[in-house]
Every structure is written in C-alpha cells, then in structure tokens.
A and B are shown apart, each in its own frame.
Chain A
Amino acid sequence: MSSNEELGMGSYVGIVIGLMIIVVIEVVLTYQHLPVRTLLFSLLCLACLEAFVGIMYLMHVKYESRLLFWTIFPATLFVLVMLNYLWPDAYRMARMSLGK
C-alpha cells in the first residue's frame, strides 16, 4: 500500500524547489562557454539527478517495495544503455561528411 505519511507537504515543496534550483544551475552552466562535450555531460548528469529525485520522491518509489525499484530501473536503463550502440555510426557519419 502506498502512503504519504513519510513526508509532509512541506518536504515536497522543498523537493520541487530543489529541482527548480537544479534547473537554474543547468541554465547557468549553459552560459559558461564550456566545451560541448562537457556541457552535455554535466546537463545529462543533472537531468539524471532530477529524474532520480523525481522518481524516488514525487513518484514515491522510495516508499514502495524494493522489488518495484529493481524492476523498473534495470529494465529502462538496459534499453537506454543499449541504444548507445548507435554512437559509433553517428561519429562515422560525421567523419564521412568531412571527407575522411
């Protein structure tokens, strides 16, 4: 059974404000003229952090059974990891258009 007794509404307000702060950090980072790869990596890390916080608290998974966590995360992450096999051909396409 789900229950929200673990956290009060005030805590949720705090969590959402925390997420908004992360968004602001992302925007600030964007305008720091970082190399593209660094910016991408940082934004992805922050986005993953937001998603994790959102899933655990907003979607309540922290207070659900551990089995739910270990079902949804591995399944989704597995697909996300496997899709990364696309990158070698994406970079080849880039090199090919440069005539290499």
Chain B
Amino acid sequence: MHDMTAHAAAHHAPPQGFIRKYVFSVDHKVIGIQYTTLGLVSAFIGMALSWAMRIHLAWPAASIPFLGTLSPNGAPGGVPTPEYYLSLMTMHGTIMAFFLLTAAPMAGYGNFMLPIHVGAADMAFPRLNMASFWVTFVGFVLACATFFIPDGPPLSGWTAYAPLSAVGPVAGPGQGWGQNLWGLSIALFCVASLLGALNFIVTTIDLRTKGMTLSRLPLATWAWFINAWVSLLAFAVLLPTCLLLVLDRLGGTSFFIPGGLVVNDKVLPHSGGSPLLFQHLFWFFGHPEVYIIILPAFGIVAHVMPTFTRKPLVGGWKVITYAMAAIGGLSFVVWGHHMFVSGMSPYMAMVFSVPTLIITIPSVIAVLVFAFSLYGANMRFSTPMLFCLGFISLFISGGIGGFFLAQPAVDSYLHATSFVVGHFHFTMGLSAVFAAFAGFYYWFPKMWGRMMNETLGKIHFWLSFVLVYCVFMTLHLMGLTGSVRRYSQFVADFMVPLTPTNKFITIAALLLGATQFIFLFNVIWSRFKGPKAADNPWHATTLEWDTTSPPPFDNFGGRQMTVYHGPMEYDGDAFVMQTSTEKSIAGT
C-alpha cells in the first residue's frame, strides 16, 4: 500500500500577454518547445558547418560562398585556411553535441512531456525551469557570437584540449576571445543543465499523481530521470574544469600548462601544469556526456515502440530500466578510453578498457530488448516506428565499432582516425537523432494539435537512412586505411587513391543535408496546415494521450488523473490507457 496525500493543485495562474505566454514563460510546455526549437536551429547551423567542412575536404581549392563573407580572414576568397577549418570543426562539435544532442531530447521533449507523464501540472520548480532555458539560450548566443568576432571561433575542438586551449591568443586564430566566449558559453550550459537535472529529479520523485508508482512510470520518463542523475554528477565536474581553464587563460595560472612551452616562437612563462589533468577532468564529464545524449534516445524508443508494435517490450519495464540505470552508472568508470594514446599511465588504460567492454553488456541488452520486441508484433509502420527501427540498426552499427576502440592496442591505430568519427556519429549523431526524429513525429500531434504528413515523413526516413550509411559507414573504412581526423586536407600519398571516396562521402552528406529540408518543410507546413489531431491519434496508453492535443494550460483541465496500469498495456488493436479503470490486458 502506498501513501497518498492531498495537495492543492500547486501551479500558477494562466499567464497573460504575449511575453509571459511565449517568451518568459514558466509553463513547461512552452519551455520544452523553446528547447526543441533551439535544438532544431542548432541542428541546421551544425549541419551547415559540416557541409563547409566536407566540401573543403573533397574539393580543397573550392570557394565556399558564404564563408568568404562570414570570415574574410579565415576563408579568403571563400577557401578556408587550415586553422579556420579547425574552427568550423570545433563549433560543429560544440553546437551539435551540446545545443542539439544534449538539449533537445532531454530538455526539449523531457520538459514538455515529463510533467504530463507523471500526471503533474508543471515541473517542480517552474521559474528555475525558465531560468535554465534562458541561461542555455545565452550560452547558445555566445557560442554563435564566436563567428562574428574578428579573430573567429576557437580551433581547439569541442574537447578544447589544453595546452592549446589554455595558452591564449598566442596559439592561433580564435584562441583569444573566441576561446573565452566558448568557455563562458559552456560554463553557462553547465549551470543550466545542472538546474534542469535538479528539476527533472525532484519532479519525477515528488510530483507523481495518484497511482503513478515508479513501476508504472513511462519508459521515456525513467530514461529522463536516470539521465538527470548522470547529468547532475557529470556537469558538476565540467563546470570547475571550465573555470580552471578560464583561470589558466585569463588569470595566468598553470593548472594545465606545462613548463618550457614554446608556442609560435614565444616561450611561455607558465610551469607546473598538466595537460593530462585537463583530459582526465574533461573526459570525466565527457564520457557520461555521450550517455547523457543516448539515454533519452533509449527512452524515446522504449516509449514509442510499444505503440507501434502493439505489445509490451520484452522483459517489461524492469529489464530496459535496469539496463539504462546500469549504463548510467557504468558511464562514470570508462572515461579513460578516450585517452589511451594521451600518455596516460598504461596500467590505467587496462583499468578503463575492462569496464568499457563491460558497459557494452547493458547496452546490448537494451538493443536486444528492442530488437526482440519486434517478434510477434502487430506492426504499424508509421514514421515514428520507422525511425525507431532506424535507431536499432544505427546503434548496432555504431556500437560494433566501439568493441574495436575499447581495446588499447587496436585503439592505438584507430585513435584520431575517421573510424572514431564514424563510430561516434553513428552512436551519438545518428542514433540519437533518429530517436529524436521518432519522438518528434510521435509527439508533434500532441504538441501542436496537428498531424505531420506521413508520406513526407517516410521519404525523409528512407533517404536519411540510406544516406547516413553512405556517409558514416564509409568514414569507418577511411579510418581503417589510416585517414586522420581533424585534418583539413589529405595530401599524404596513401590518401590520394581515396579521393573519389572522399568526394562520395561529401556528395552523400550534402544530399543528406538537403533531405532534412523535407523534414523542416513538413514541420512548418503541418504546424499551420496539417490535419487536426485527435486526442490519441496513435492509440497509445500514456498520460499525454489522455488529454487534448495540445494540452490545456494545466495539462489536464483540472481533472484528477489516477493511474491504474503500467505504460505498455497493448495487445494488437486493443489497448488500456494508464488512467483507465478497465482490466489489464497485457499484464503490466
């Protein structure tokens, strides 16, 4: 028997006026849409940067039109200098990893859906939620601002390794105010993420409606909750790392700068610092970060799939949830696998390699749960389901590359090659993005009250699915031949025969980018002209489908939402909503 207490509907009055309703809103739904929009904008900016990079790699002498205007110094005549190429790469990684992948599936969908999933009227701390978004937004503006300052964006990679990132302007273009703005942007992102994680944790624990026990939580909510804990602990370590970097840059300290460095013919006065310390601290955050990116994807797929397979996931809620929790916990013990060739102690390499292989176990269990849940399914191949299937394929493909990279001996060869680029794009960039697409198509009717176009959605899926393999599987092969990453041109003689392959990747990448405009068109057109959505167009069971599309201000119109079932009561066409008093049909 669980306790229940009566609480006043602890939420705020409906806001008045445009600014309070749509700009500085404390409503989690508006904030979720704001984060999702930020993610969409980041996606297109990040993609544009990747197009510039890919065009330069395939045709090094080509003039890239917009670049010459954006940065006459960095891209004279539209041809990026090697330094500017690295700047493009740095901001591509930063904007994609932080402002798209970390923000959108968690803070975007999570903010919109989590309170509704648990049956609450809003998040636990709505004003803190609003503050989190606007702090993220300022961080985003600062990151984008680096393109418009004279010296340009930093070129030290999204990983900002010291001493390059720590020594200041002497290291190259973009390493003055570009890197400072970058550091400030990321520090703000840390603060916003910490506060957001806090909100998610307290909301999931404290704001569940009557009957919503933890065993009945929707799986996306479990993923967001576990992810919030991982975020909390990981960003808590990145924040001081950024502060120490800023102190090295502006305060003259030497946390990360060793003695005797000569940079561009200048002897630096620093001494006693350790670049390895930066790598340790950064990757202490950096590895959990990639799981912060993928856990919401697992959650979205686990949430969306049963709706379209019309049966519960194999193992019920427990297997997938325990797998996600294990991944979250283990993510903190593997970070050294990014540092196998850094000069780190080789004994530590083994200490990190073993857990890296162990963490594949819960990951494989999760993917197998998804794959085996297709067996005996009464499949509905709507666009969200297609993207879930795409996720399974992409995560397996990318994950297999991880087995190679987890062994220090093999990684010695593959580190810093395109193999790694292919691996992390598959696991982070593609799987997480496909899951995000699945969530987008799935929840769009609920968020906007209109259906997206299925035909355009299917075209978007198939083109994207084929093209991502063209681009990123080929990158794996390039890496195996020894193609080094973060190089702006391939002049080595062994790379010359691969020039056609390089061009193939670039063309596929540009086509992939063009395909996303189909999605964008679908979004904008459907938002205004799409057919009106019913309350429950997918015949799904979770609480968001037991309210109007879009939901009213307090999510449920003042109704008492009482939960009687778990989230996966599906049996073919029949289904029992979580709030229904009918008997269970799937035993969950």
Q: Which residues of A contact B (CB under 8 A)?
A: 75, 78-79, 82-83, 85-86, 88-90, 92-93
- Specify the chain B residue showing the minimal Cβ separation from A74: B329
Q: Does B357 contact A (CB under 8 A)?
A: no
- The interface residues of chain B lying within 8 Å CB-to-CB of A85 are 280, 336, 348, 351
Do B333 and A89 touch (CB < 8 A)?
no
B204 nearest CB across to chain A (Å): 13
* Residues of A close to B244: CB separation below 8 A: none
Residues A89 and B236 in contact, CB atoms below 8 Å apart:
no
- Asked if A89 meets B332 with Cβ closer than 8 Å, knowing A75-B229, A79-B233, the reply is no
Closest B residue by C-beta to A86:
B280
Of chain A, the residue at the smallest CB distance from B273 is A93
Interface residue B277 (Cβ < 8 Å from any Cβ of A): yes
29 A-B pairs (CB sep. < 8 Å)? A75-B229, A75-B233, A78-B233, A78-B332, A79-B233, A79-B236, A79-B237, A82-B284, A82-B332, A82-B333, A83-B284, A85-B336, A85-B348, A85-B351, A86-B277, A86-B280, A88-B345, A88-B347, A88-B348, A89-B274, A89-B276, A89-B277, A89-B345, A89-B348, A90-B274, A90-B277, A92-B345, A93-B274, A93-B276
**Inter-chain contact B280/A79, CB cutoff 8 Å:** no
CB neighbours (8 Å) of A92 from chain B are: 345
Which 3 A/B pairs are nearest by Cβ-Cβ distance? A88-B345, A89-B276, A79-B233
CB distance from B237 to the nearest CB of A (A): 7
Q: How far is the CB of B7 from chain A (nearest CB, A)?
A: 14
Inter-chain CA distance A75–B336, complex, in Å, is 20
Closest-CB distance, A76 to chain B (whole angstroms): 9
| A96 shortest CB reach to chain B, Å | 10
Give, as a whole number of angstroms, the nearest-CB distance from B470 to chain A: 39
Taking each of A75, A85, A86, which has the highest tally of chain B beta carbons within 10 Å of its own beta carbon?
Answer: A85
1/0 per residue, CB under 8 A from A, across B257-275: the answer is: 0000000000000000010
For B229, the chain A residues whose CB sits under 8 A away are 75
Within 8 A of A (CB), among B305-362: 329, 332-333, 336, 344-345, 347-348, 351
A30 to B233, CA, bound (A): 33
Q: How far is the CA of A85 from the CA of B347 in the complex (A)?
A: 11
Complex CA–CA separation, A75 to B280 (angstroms):
20
Please give, as numbers and ranges, the residues of chain B lying within 8 Å of A82 by CB-CB distance. 284, 332-333
Proximity string of chain B (212-247) to chain A, C-beta cutoff 8 Å, 1 when within and 0 when not: 000000000000000001000100110000000000
| B residues near A93, Cβ cutoff 8 Å | 274, 276
* A78 contact set on B, CB distance < 8 A: 233, 329, 332
The A contact surface, by secondary structure, is helix
In angstroms, Cα B233 to Cα A77, docked, is 11
Give B81 Cβ to nearest chain A Cβ, in Å: 35
Q: Report the bound CA distance from A93 to B254 in whole Å.
A: 14
Distance in angstroms between the alpha carbons of A92 and B339 in the assembled complex: 15
CA A62 to CA B229, docked complex, whole Å: 23
Nearest A residue to B274 by beta-carbon distance?
Answer: A93
Nearest CB to that of A67 among chain B residues? B205
Q: How far is the CB of A55 from chain B (nearest CB, A)?
A: 18
CB proximity of A66 to chain B, nearest CB, Å: 15
Report Cα–Cα, A64/B68, bound state, in Å.
63
> Which residues of chain B have C-beta atoms less than 8 A from A88's C-beta?
345, 347-348
Nearest residue (CB) in A for B281 is: A86
Chain B residues numbered 532-572 whose CB sits less than 8 Å from any CB in chain A: none
Q: Which chain A residues lie closer than 8 Å to B332 at the CB level?
A: 78-79, 82
A93 to B284, CA, bound (A): 19
Query: A90 vs B345: C-alpha distance in the bound complex, in angstroms?
Result: 10
B284 proximity list for chain A (CB < 8 A): 82-83
Shortest CB–CB separation between residue B550 and chain A, in angstroms? 35
B181: shortest Cβ distance to chain A, in Å? Answer: 28
Contact A89 B233 (CB under 8 A): no
Bound-complex Cα distance A76 to B200 (A)? 18
Q: How far is the CA of A89 from the CA of B284 in the complex (A)?
A: 14
Q: Which residues of A contact B348 (CB under 8 A)?
A: 85, 88-89
A75 to B277 alpha-carbon distance, docked (Å): 23
Minimal Cβ-Cβ distance residue in B for A93: B274
Q: Once the chains are docked, how many angstroms separate the CA of A92 from the CA of B274?
A: 11
Shortest beta-carbon distance, A95 to chain B, in Å? 11
A75 to B237, CA, bound (A): 13
Nearest CB on A from B336, distance (A): 7
A20 vs chain B, min Cβ distance (A)? 29
In the assembly, what is the distance between CA of A90 and CA of B276, in Å? Answer: 9
* B329: A residues at CB distance < 8 A: 78
Among A79, A82, A89, A92, which residue has the most Cβ atoms of chain B within 10 A? Answer: A89
> Which chain B positions have C-beta within 8 A of A75?
229, 233
Q: How far is the CA of A11 from the CA of B233 in the complex (A)?
A: 34
Contacts of A83 in B (CB 8 A): 237, 284
Q: How far is the CB of A98 from chain B (nearest CB, A)?
A: 14
A90 → B minimal CB distance (Å):
8
Q: Smallest Cβ distance from B84 to chain A, in angstroms?
A: 33
Q: Nearest chain-A residue to B236 (Cβ)?
A: A79
Residue of B nearest to A79 (CB): B233
Give min CB distance, A97 to chain B, whole Å.
Answer: 9
In the assembled complex, the CB of B161 is this many whole angstroms from the nearest CB of chain A, namely 15
Give bound CA distance, A89 to B229, whole Å: 28
Bound complex: CA of A90 vs CA of B351, how far in Å? 16
Q: Is the CB of A89 within 8 A of B280?
A: yes
Min CB distance A70 to B, Å, is 14
Please, which residue of chain A has its CB at the minimum distance from the CB of B237? A79
CA gap between A86 and B255 in the complex, in Å: 14
Contacts A85-B280, A88-B347, A89-B345 known; 14 new A-B pairs at CB < 8 A: A75-B229, A75-B233, A79-B233, A82-B332, A82-B333, A83-B237, A85-B336, A85-B351, A86-B280, A88-B348, A89-B274, A89-B348, A90-B277, A92-B345
A88–B336 CA distance with the chains assembled, in angstroms? 12
Q: How far is the CB of A21 from chain B (nearest CB, A)?
A: 32
Q: Which residues of A contact B345 (CB under 8 A)?
A: 88-89, 92
- The minimal Cβ–Cβ distance linking A4 to chain B, given in whole angstroms, is 22
| Cα–Cα, bound, A86→B329 (Å) | 19
Residue of B nearest to A82 (CB): B332
A21-B233 Cα distance, complex, nearest whole Å: 33
Give the distance in Å from the alpha carbon of A75 to the alpha carbon of B231 in the complex. 12
Distance of A88 Cα from B351 Cα, bound (Å): 11
